[in-house]
Amino acid sequence: MIPKDHPRYQSLLLREKIVIAHQNGILAESGMIAHGRGEAFDYLIGEKTSAPAKKAIKAAAAALLVAENPVLSVNGNTAALASRNMVNLAKTIPAKIEINLFYRTPERVEAVKNVLEKSGAEEILGTEDEDLKHVDNIKSPRSTASPEGIFTADVVLVPLEDGDRAEILVNSGKKIITIDLNPLSRTAQKSSITIVDNIVRAIPLIKKETKKLKNEDPRILKKIIKEFDNKKNLDESLTIITPK
């Protein structure tokens, strides 16, 4: 039991969720290491949503709303920390949900599926290995996607994604939104819209922004997207981490 007045209470709570998710077969060992890397960056940004992250969140909400086939991708870390929030966001947009695992095993797919179902997900894509197709015909385990989901999506939210896969998805012409606490990661650098924030703070804020923008004129939404400069935004996030 972590005492509530512990200075690192929130951070330790997330760490505990990650450990439990690993014990329950949702998360691979490397998922715990990935979490540690994120934790270090969260420490540096002050464990709060920054101004550049808020700008990216607004652009992400606009992009998800104008999309024809928006898909939210869920991996082990996302399922461990933000399952209910992802399901709620998918319902608000509305968008599809697809399981997308780096270390994919039938057991882990099943464990993530169970978590999503318990969080209220009705349709979950990416559960059947044999249905998956290769994006742009690239024969790599990093390029697989569900035919009705990421494979045909125009906008994909892929939090905590691996750089190789992010690159494949961006090169296929899709708009890729990521959430990554490390503004220097390959995923952060390659994606179309990078939210440098903790997934546990970012997803509820995307939902809030989506609700706000839902009835907005599509031309205004497109303007928000057009005016967003990911490179500039990442530089702003880096300035927060390395103040002069």
Which residues sit at the interface with ligand ATP, rule CB under 6 A?
34-35, 37-38, 41, 77, 81, 160, 162-163, 179-182, 185-187, 198-199
Residue among 195 and 221 whose Cβ is closer to ligand ATP:
195
Q: Judged by CB, which is closer to ligand ATP: 184, or 220?
A: 184
Q: Residue 169 carries which side chain, given as an amino acid letter?
A: L
Question: What are 72's two structure tokens?
Answer: 């939210």
Question: Of the two residues 183 and 221, which places its CB atom closer to ligand ATP in the complex?
Answer: 183
Residue 238 one-letter amino acid: L
Name the residue nearer to ligand ATP (CB basis): 97 or 166.
166
Torsion, Cα of 23, 28, 32, 34 (10° steps):
-160
Q: What span, in angstroms and rounded, lies between the C-alpha atoms of 180 and 197?
A: 6
Distance of closest approach, residue 180 Cβ to ligand ATP, in angstroms: 5
Nearest approach, Cβ of residue 218 and ligand ATP (Å): 29
| Nearer residue to ligand ATP within complex by CB, 2 or 103 | 103
- Cβ 57 to ligand ATP shortest distance, Å: 13
Pairing of strands 144-145, 133-134: antiparallel
Min dist CB 199 to ligand ATP, Å, is 4
CA–centroid distance for 32 within its chain: 16
Provide the 8-state DSSP code for 3: -
Contacts of residue 168, Cβ cutoff 8 Å, sequence gap at least 6: 135, 136, 138, 140, 142, 143
* Minimum separation from the CB atom of position 203 to ligand ATP (A): 10
8 Å CB contact between 68 and 154:
yes
Taking CB atoms, the residue at the shortest distance from ligand ATP is: 38
